[in-house]
Structure 1
Amino acid sequence: MPCLNEVETLAICIKKAQAFLKKYSISGEVIIADNGSTDGSVKVAEKLGVKVVHAALKGYGAALREGIDHAEGIYVIMGDSDDSYDFSNLMPFIDKLREGHDLVMGNRFKGGIKKAAMPFLHKYVGNPVLSYIGRLFFKVNIGDFHCGLRAFSRKSYEKMNLKTIGMEFASEMVVKASLLKMSISEVPTTLSPDGRSRPPHLRTFRDGWRHLRFLLMFSPKWLFLVPGLVLLTTSLIGSGLIFIGPLKIGNVGFDIHTLIVLSFVFLVGIQFIFFHVFVKTYRVTSGLLPQGNGLYSFYRIFTLEKGICTGFIVLLLGIVLFVFNFMIWEDTGFSELQPTFFVKKILLSTVPIILGIQIIFYSFILSLISVGSK
C-alpha cells in the first residue's frame, strides 16, 4: 500500500488485509510504502506489526516500486491505503493469478462505485475515455484502465521493467503487460468513498493529462505514424489530381494555391513518419518499450550510409529539376512565366530538395539514437 499522510485510514486498511490473509490461511505480508508521511502514519503501521519501507523519490509510482521491490511473495497485490478498496475481498485476484494470469485488474465499473466514491468527471469522462484510448492503442480488453487495486506475479512484474514514478505508473503497467503479450484478466471490485477528511492526492486535469500523454508517447503509431500516413496519402492524391488539371468539386475549385498547401502537407507527413521511428527507437533504447519485430526489421535494412545515399539521390533529383526549370526560364529570355506552369515546375524541384535534406539529417539522428536497437 502506498502511503502519504494516511493516518485516518491506514489502520483500517492494514487490519482488513491482515484479516483476509488469516481467514484464507494465506502466507503473506502487508507492506506499507511510505512516501514521506508527517502525520504519524508510519507509527500506526509499525504498531500493527507490518513491514514499512521508505521511498526516497516522491510519487505514486515511486512508492509502489519501492514497496514491490521489498515484497517477498510470488504474488503481489497493490491498493491504495485510503479505505476506498475492499482488502477483505481479494480472493478473486488470487484465484486468477493461480490460474496462470500475469496481471489481474480490478474493474470498479463492474463491481460497483458507491455514491460519492468517484468524482463525476472521473466516472463519466476521464476513466471511460482514457480506458477506451488504452484499449484502442494497445488492443487490451480492460474496462477500467486505472483501477488502483490490481495483482500480478513478481516474475511478470520484473519482466515489465517499469520506469515511471508518478500516477502514470498504473498505465505503464497495463501497457507493458500488453506489449509483452502477457495474460491480463479482470475481476469486479467495489469502490467506496475514501475515509480521509483531507482532499485526495489525485489532481483531475494534471494527472489525467499525464496518463493521456503517457498513452500517446507509448503508442507513436497513433501519435505520429497514422496522422503522418493520412497527411502523406492526402497530399499525394490531391497533388496528383491537380497536376493533371484544375480540380473542381461542386462550386469549389482547386488549383495551384491548393497545390502549394499540399506540398507543405506532404513534407509535414514525412516528418510525422520520421518522428514515429524516432520515438519508438528512443522508447526501446531507454528500456521503456520492449523491442518489437517491426523495429528490428527496420534496422536490419536501415544504415546511416543507405540513408545518406537515399537523401543525396532525392536531393540531386531536385537540383536537376531546378536547373532544368531554370533553363526553360532562360529560353524565354527570363520573361514573366504563366503562374500555373511556373508554380508546378518549381514545386516539382523544391519539394525533392527539401525532402532530400530532411532524409540526410534524419538519418544521422536515427543512427545516433538507434544504438541498442540493431
Structure 2
Amino acid sequence: SGWGAGGAGGGAGLWKRIVGGIRAALGKWVLMGDCDGSYDLSDLEKFWRELESGADLVMGCRLPAGGGTVQAGAMPFLHRWLGNPVLTFLGRLFFRAPVHDFHCGLRAFRREAMLGIGLQTGGMEFASEMVILSCLRGLKIREVPTVLRPDRRNRPPHLRTWRDGWRHLRFMLLFSPRWVFFIPGVLLLLLGIGVAAPLSFGPLVVGPFGFDVNTLLMGWVSFLAGVQLMIFALFTRTWATRMGWLPEQRSLARFYKIFNLERGLLLGLVCVAAGLALLVWSVGRVGGRRGGEHSPFKRACGK
C-alpha cells in the first residue's frame, strides 16, 4: 500500500492535499497520520491485520476508553478531558460510530472505499467527515489502540481549541437532523400535551401554585413548536438525501410511498374540519354556562 502527500498542489487546503494523496496512492490500502513524532508509525501491523480481515476504515485510539495511552504532555488538558470525550460521545450517539476516539490522526483505510464516500469538507472537520460518512455509508469500521507521545515540532500548534471544536460540533449537527430537530420536537410536543391537556378542563391548583389560562397557552405553544420542529426534521432529511449528503432511509422511503400529495391535502382538510368542530363545541359550551364566569376566553381577556 502507498501514501502520497502531494497531488493537490502546495496551495491547496489540508483536505485537498489529503484527498490528493489518497488518489495518488498506488496501493489498495492507505495509512494517514501526523508525522511530528507523536505517533509510533513502526507499530502498524495491527492496522493491516484489521484491513486484511475486511475492515474499510481502521481508527487508532489514543484514549484509555479504547485501550490507548496518552503520555504526559502529549495532549492539551481541554482536548483530553473535554473536547475529545464530548465529541466522541456525540459521534457514537448520533451516528453509532464504533470508536472511542473520533479524532485520532492515525488511521488506515481501503483506498477505493474512502474515495467512494464523497469527502468534500475544507478544514479541520475532515477528520470528523471521514468517520461520519463511513458510518452513514455502512463501511466496516474497526479500532485499534495506539500511543500518543509529545510531538517534536518547533512551532505553535495549528489547532485552535474552541474554534475547531465548534467546527467539528457544527459539522456533526448538520448531519444529524434527528437529534437537532426531530427529538427536541418530540420532547416539546409531549411537554405541550402534558401541560395543556389537564388545563383544557379548567384551572388546576397544586399546593400554593395555580395554573390557569397562561399556562394553557404556553402548553399549546410548546405543542405547536414541537410539531414544527418534527416537520422541519422531515424536510431537512429529505433535502439532505436528495442532495446526496445522507443515504436514503428505508422508513422515509416507505413514508413517502404512503403519504403523497393527495393524502396530505385530505389530512389537512380533516384537521381543519376537526378544528372548526372543536371551536364550535367550545363556543357552545362557554355560552351554555351561566354568565360564563369560568370561561377561559373571559379569563384571557381579563373579564
TM-score range, shorter chain: 0.7 to 0.9
Q: Is the 8 A contact 1:232 1:266 kept in 2?
A: yes
What residue in structure 2 maps to residue 201 of structure 1?
Answer: 158
Question: What TM-score does the superposition give when structure 2 sets the normalisation length?
Answer: 0.87
Which residue of the partner structure matches residue 54 of structure 1?
9
Task: Give the structure 2 partner of residue 39 of structure 1.
Answer: none
- Which residue is equivalent to 1:103? 57
Residue of structure 2 in register with 1:190 after alignment: 147
User: Which among 94, 97, 100 is matched to residue 143 of structure 1?
Assistant: 100
Alignment of 1:1-374 (within 5 A): 28-33=1-6, 53-54=8-9, 57-58=12-13, 60-109=14-63, 110-319=67-276, 321-322=278-279, 338=293, 340-342=295-297
Deviation, structure 1 residue 322: 4.6
Work out whether residues 2 and 30 of structure 2, in 8 Å CA contact, stay in contact via their aligned partners in 1.
no
Contact 2:213 2:300 in 1 (8 A): no
Instruction: For 1:285 and 1:64, locate their aligned partners in 2 and report how far apart those are by CA, in whole Å.
Output: 27
Native 8 Å contact 1:61 1:168 kept in 2 = no
**Paired residues, number:** 298
TM-score by length of 1: 0.72
Q: CA deviation at 1:122?
A: 0.1
3-state SS of 1:299 partner: helix
Q: For the residues of structure 1 that align with 2:128 and 2:156, how far apart are their CA atoms?
A: 23
Residue 256 of structure 1 contacts residue 340 of structure 1 at CA under 8 Å; is this kept in 2? Answer: no
Contact conserved, 2:51 with 2:57, CA < 8 A, in 1?
yes
In structure 1, distance between residues paired with 2:262 and 2:300: 30
Question: SS of the residue aligned with 1:259?
Answer: helix
CA distance in 2 between partners of 1:284 and 1:96 (Å): 31
Q: Deviation per CA, 1:230-256: give whole Å up to 9, x if none.
A: 111121122111123333333322221
For 1:244, what is the secondary structure of its paired residue? coil
> Amino acid of the residue matched to residue 45 of structure 2?
M
- CA change 1:343–1:222 in 2 (3 A) is farther
Q: Which has the higher contact order (CA 8 A, sep 6+)?
A: 2
Contact 1:61 1:170 in 2 (8 A): no
CA distance in 2 between partners of 1:327 and 1:242 (Å): 19
Displacement of 1:145 in angstroms is 0.7
8 Å CA contact 1:179–1:290 kept in 2: the answer is yes
Q: Deviations over 1:92-134 (max 9, x none)?
A: 1111100111110000123322222211000011001111111
The alignment yields a C-alpha RMSD, in angstroms, of: 2.8
344 and 241 in structure 1: CA distance in 2 versus 1, 3 angstrom threshold: farther
Shift of 1:331: 9.3
The structure-2 alpha-carbon separation of the partners of 1:248 and 1:163, relative to structure 1 and needing over 3 Å to count, comes to: farther
Q: How has the CA–CA distance of structure 1 residues 317 and 173 changed in structure 2, closer, same or farther, with 3 Å as cutoff?
A: same
d(CA) in 2 for partners of 1:30 and 1:341? 72
Structure 1 residues 98, 31: CA separation in 2 closer, same or farther (over 3 Å shift)? same
Structure 2 letter corresponding to 1:149: L
For 1:141-179, what per-residue CA distance to the aligned partner results, in whole angstroms no more than 9, with x for missing partners? 311011011111123213422232222221122222222
CA 1:66/1:282 → structure 2, altered by over 3 Å: closer, same or farther?
A: farther
The 8 Å contact of residues 181 and 230 in structure 2, kept in 1 or not, is answered as: yes
In structure 2, the CA distance between the partners of 1:159 and 1:252, relative to structure 1 (3 Å rule), is farther
Matched residue type, 2:32: M
Structure 2 unaligned spans of 5+: none
Distance apart, 1:316 and its partner CA = 4.2
